Amino acid sequence: MSTDASRELSESELLYEYLGQKMKNGGRDTPIGELLHGYIEYRKQLEDLRGKLRQAEASSARGESSELDVEELIEEVTSQLAAEGIA
């Protein structure tokens, strides 16, 4: 989903973008209830991510951040995806 990082999309813009991606990826025959449930889950994940970003920014502003270990991050994400049966 491409967005302008300088502002957050409105609720209707998010729904529009979400449904557009679903339609583009073969979701044309997906029941509306399933689409809406997926959107609600997407919103929960988005809010969780935004909360974590706010915490990280506050921590960094207080000088509590450290350099990103890319290799460790790759291992962690790979493990999580494997646990979900994706990788």
Out of 5-14, 47-56, 76-85, which region has the weakest mean confidence (pLDDT)? Answer: 5-14
pTM: 0.61
Whole-number pLDDT of residue 59:
93
Separation between Cα atoms, residue 79 and residue 87, nearest integer Å: 8
For residue 38, give both structure tokens.
Answer: 């997926």
| 35 is a domain residue | yes
| 53 is a domain residue | yes
Owning domain of residue 70: 11-83
| 55 is a domain residue | yes
Tokens 């270990």, located at residue: 69
| 45 is a domain residue | yes
In this predicted structure, the answer to whether residue 1 has a pLDDT above a threshold of 50 is no
Q: Looking at residues 2-19, what average pLDDT do you find?
A: 81
| 28 is a domain residue | yes
Q: What is the mean pLDDT of the chain?
A: 89
In this predicted structure, the answer to whether residue 4 has a pLDDT above a threshold of 60 is no
| 3 is a domain residue | no
Q: Looking at residues 54-68, what average pLDDT do you find?
A: 91
| 60 is a domain residue | yes
Domain count of the fold of the chain: 1
| 5 is a domain residue | no
Contacts of 27 (CB under 8 A, 6+ apart): 35
